[in-house]
Amino acid sequence: MRAAAMAHYTNMSDKKQKEVVKFFNSIEKSGDGDVSTEEFLDFVRKKGFKMELPQNVFKLLDENNNGTLSFEECVTFFYMITYKKFSFCKGCEIFLSGLHFVCVKCYKADEEKSFDLCSSCYRNKNHSHEHTEFLDKDVLIISQEGIVGKTFNALNAKLKH
Ligand SMILES: [Zn+2]
Ligand SMILES: [Zn+2]
């Protein structure tokens, strides 16, 4: 994900790049150039994310495991938020980073308001949702050869260059 995020960053307009820098500066308060766990937690709390999220995400973002996030690692974070590669299980509210399930009906109605479940909540029916058809998110994207598929492919193609 980081390579994709950096490739994306490089191809951004100046205006967008400034936005990323601003985003980074809003997390990195101490001015030492790295985001510490405290700074990250502070930011996440202000944004109103669930407390179960931060450790998960911080670890995920901190690719070299040095306990702080560099600018590049924060670009990944920005990318995740901007492109909604950032969702939570509607059952147990954990951060969903790998395989998870999405309500087909809700996803088709509005991609941004999709109803997501982790595989264990899906399996154990730990949710009360009006629809019953769920699909693995990756499978769903591939199966939507319409608008969603095209957007996805276009984005992918862009990232490869
Ligand atoms: Zn869950
Ligand atoms: Zn639904």
Segment 83-133, tens digit of pLDDT: 655 677 888 877 776 778 999 999 888 877 789 999 999 999 999 999 999
Long-range contacts of 32-41 (CB under 8 A, 24+ apart): 33/70, 33/71, 34/68, 34/69, 34/70, 35/68, 35/69, 35/70, 35/73, 35/74, 36/67, 36/68, 37/67, 37/68, 40/69
Helices and strands counted in the chain (H then E): 9, 7
The residue ranges of DSSP E strands in the chain, in sequence order, are: 35-36, 68-69, 87-88, 95-96, 100-103, 116-118, 134-136
Residues facing residue 76 across a β-bridge: none
Calpha distance 153→147 (Å, rounded): 10
User: How far apart are the CA of 135 and the centre of ligand 1, in A?
Assistant: 15
Domains of the chain: 2-82 (1.10.238.10), 88-142 (no CATH)
Measured in degrees and rounded to the nearest 5, phi and psi for residue 36 equal -85, 170
Of residues 152 and 9, more confidently modeled:
9
* Closest C-alpha to 126, from 92, 86, 85: 92
Segment 36-63, tens digit of pLDDT: 999 988 887 777 665 556 667 788 888 8
In this structure, which residues have their CB less than 5 angstroms from ion ligand 1?
Answer: 89, 91-92, 118, 121
pLDDT at 52: 55
pLDDT at 44: 78
**Nearest ligand to the C-alpha atom of residue 96:** 1
pLDDT at 155: 59
**Nearest ligand to the C-alpha atom of residue 90:** 1
pLDDT at 147: 47
Segment 73-83, tens digit of pLDDT: 888 888 776 66
User: How far apart are the CA of 107 and the centre of ligand 2, in A?
Assistant: 7
- Tokens 């490739």 belong to 7
